[in-house]
Amino acid sequence: MTKKAVSLALKAMLSLSTDDVDAFVEASWHTWAQGGEHLNASSLPVLAAAVREFLPATSTEAKQTQDDSGQLEDGHKRTGVVCDCGQIHVRRGDRIRHGPAVAEDTPVAPGQLGTIVRIGRGRETVTVKWDRCDETQEYIWPDPEGHTLLPASYNEVAEDLSNVQKHTKLSTAAAEEFLRHRGFVPPDSFTHGKYIEDSFRQPPKRWHRVRILPDSVLVQQWFDSIAPCQCNRSSCSGGIRWSSNANKHLGREGILLEIDESDGTVLVETYGPCSCQIWYPRLAVMPVYDPDLNDKPCHKVDDQVECKMEHGWEKGVVEEVFWNGKERTGRHPYGVKLHEGRQIQVPRESLIRRAA
């Protein structure tokens, strides 16, 4: 099959716009055809795997997806639904949709999307940053009836955002900023070829929280645009490549660990249902709101502290303070040397306290 024939066939099969199918085929053709001009029998499994997520589900498949969609890598169900273990879990970075019950003093409308940015002590409250609200809101947790907080998937996108993307070919991050500049009032018409992705984006910073964009087709194009690594190291895999693992983590949050300026890629460690380290194109991640950036450290170098370890609290001394508000020089807030000799990094304030 030729590239044109494949495009025509996929346009009739997939739940994507005509332009998105063309872009999808163009970005993936080299992989599918293995460098040739036509698909052969060995290419079909690769093509089938790539398009499976865009195929409309049959009634049986839809039911199975609905039944299994909450199961995540940690063995528990997604935020906001009753898990098989009987609990309603909550994870920082998970997406939330506002339910039908809205108080008169809140600017948040039903259906608005947001992110859980902080979990209260005892998991009895959550703090939510709604996508189009400058302030955070605190809510009682859980909300099993979904009157105020409903679980949302990592890949959900607001309808007006999807419309902007359709006309501008911008990412969700750039399209959201485009709408923000207009007071979230979409234009009556769009100018073809006017919209530049980088002009609407803020660069991510090392050691800060980021979100991997949910834009599957666009992120794959960015992957495919990065030239293979030309080094001769035996440990090198040839550079970053689009994969099912990269696709699975779209929409999730993590910490940006490394920035490679030579090829415009970044290393992200995800948090929540899994802790995975994955390289992405720089444009595939965006900075996110992080309330911790307003916090000053509770401890300073040479402070005597106790750190919560596997078998209880152990005494030590603070050797380094890596996080000071927006200034971050390390992966975790503190570096501590325990009195028994080990040097550790403390990932959260709740795991360190002043020594008695």
Could you give the domains of the chain?
3-56 (no CATH), 73-151 (2.30.30), 161-201 (no CATH), 202-288 (2.30.30), 295-354 (2.30.30)
Question: How far, in Å, CA of 125 to CA of 225, rounded?
Answer: 43
pLDDT in tens, 43-56: 666 676 666 656 55
List b or e across 164-196, with b for residues whose CB sees 16 or more CB atoms inside 10 angstroms: bbebbbbbbbbbbbbbeeeeeeeeeeeeeeebe
Q: What is the mean pLDDT of the chain?
A: 86
Mean pLDDT of all residues in 60-83: 66
Judged on CB neighbours under 10 Å (0-12, 13-18, 19+), 45 is exposed
DSSP 226-260: SPPP----TT--SS----HHHHHTTT-EEEEEEEE
Q: What pLDDT is stored for residue 66 in this prediction?
A: 39
Report field, pTM of the whole predicted structure over 0.85? no
- Render pLDDT for 85-114 as a digit per residue (tens, 0 to 9): 888 999 999 999 999 987 777 788 899 999
Q: Is the pLDDT of residue 5 over 80?
A: no
Pairing of strands 343-346, 265-270: unpaired
3 state SS for 102-136: CCCCCCCCCCCEEEEEEECHHHCEEEEEECCCCCE
- Among the residue ranges 165-179, 230-244, 263-277, the one predicted with the least confidence is 230-244
Q: What pLDDT score does 340 carry?
A: 93
Which residues partner with 297 through β-bridges? none
pLDDT single digits (tens) 239-298 = 788 999 999 999 999 999 999 998 999 999 998 889 999 999 999 999 999 999 999 999
Whole-number Å distance between alpha carbons of 128 and 150 = 12
